[in-house]
Every structure is written in C-alpha cells, then in structure tokens.
Amino acid sequence: MEDPTLDLDTVRRELLRARDALTAEMGALTLVIRDPDATIGFGKRVGEGTTEAITRIERVGAANALQSKLADVERALVKVDEGTYGICDRCSRMIPVARLEARPSSVLCAPCSAAR
Ligand SMILES: [Zn+2]
C-alpha cells in the first residue's frame, strides 16, 4: 500500500513541524483569550466593550480552527506510525498523493473532507 513517491520520513518531519507551529500559535492565542488586556488592550473603551467582545469571539473561533487543524496533524502522525497514512479515515480509499503533498495533515480524501 506504499506509494513510492511519498517519503514518510519527510512527511513525519513536516507534520512534527506543523504540530510545533500550531501548538505555539495556540499557546499565544489562548493567552490572549484568557487575558485580553495583556496585549490587545489600549486602555480605551469602545461602545460598551462590544468590539472587544467580538474580537474575543473571533479569537475563540480562530482557536477552535487551530485546534481542529492540530487534531488532523496529530491523527496524521498516528497514521504514519500505524502504516495507514494516505488512507482515508472515513471511506478507506487511498488519498491522492497530490493532496497529501499539498496538505500533509490530510486524513480524509477530498469527497469525505467536503462532507465533514
Ligand atoms: Zn474518503
């Protein structure tokens, strides 16, 4: 089931790097969510804190998006170890190499990913 054009060592390195980057991003974002005034407060109140609340919601949304990206990366790493990397988690078909190269953390084929 191994595709000769896909180098799993390279994939693993890329996934680990992506995981580090996402973890760092999450850490920074979580810090801001917990203590918004630490970095984004400018000491002035706009409206009744409405814009700040919106920013907060946006950040939580961004954190959720990061969390789901991170989950994919973690799952892809497990798949590399299991020997199931490149196989769709939902329909068990092979994920095209081009898709994996474009997005190494892909754990679903395009149709399944779109259906998610
Ligand atoms: Zn699929």
User: What pLDDT, in 10s, does the model give residues 66-115?
Assistant: 999 999 999 999 999 999 999 999 999 999 999 999 999 999 999 999 99
Cα of 81 vs centre of ligand 1, distance in Å, is: 20
**Is 51 a member of any domain?**
yes
Number of domains in the chain: 1
Cα of 76 vs centre of ligand 1, distance in Å, is: 14
C-beta neighbour count of 76 within 10 angstroms: 25
Cα of 109 vs centre of ligand 1, distance in Å, is: 4
pLDDT at position 4, please?
54
At residue 42, does pLDDT exceed 90? no
Q: Domain of 45?
A: 8-83
At residue 48, does pLDDT exceed 80? no
**Is 79 a member of any domain?**
yes
pLDDT at position 60, please?
87
Cα of 42 vs centre of ligand 1, distance in Å, is: 47
Residue partners of 112: CB distance under 8 A and separation at least 6: 88, 89, 90, 91
Cα of 113 vs centre of ligand 1, distance in Å, is: 7
pLDDT at position 33, please?
66
**Is 24 a member of any domain?**
yes
At residue 41, does pLDDT exceed 50? no
Cα of 87 vs centre of ligand 1, distance in Å, is: 8
**Is 56 a member of any domain?**
yes
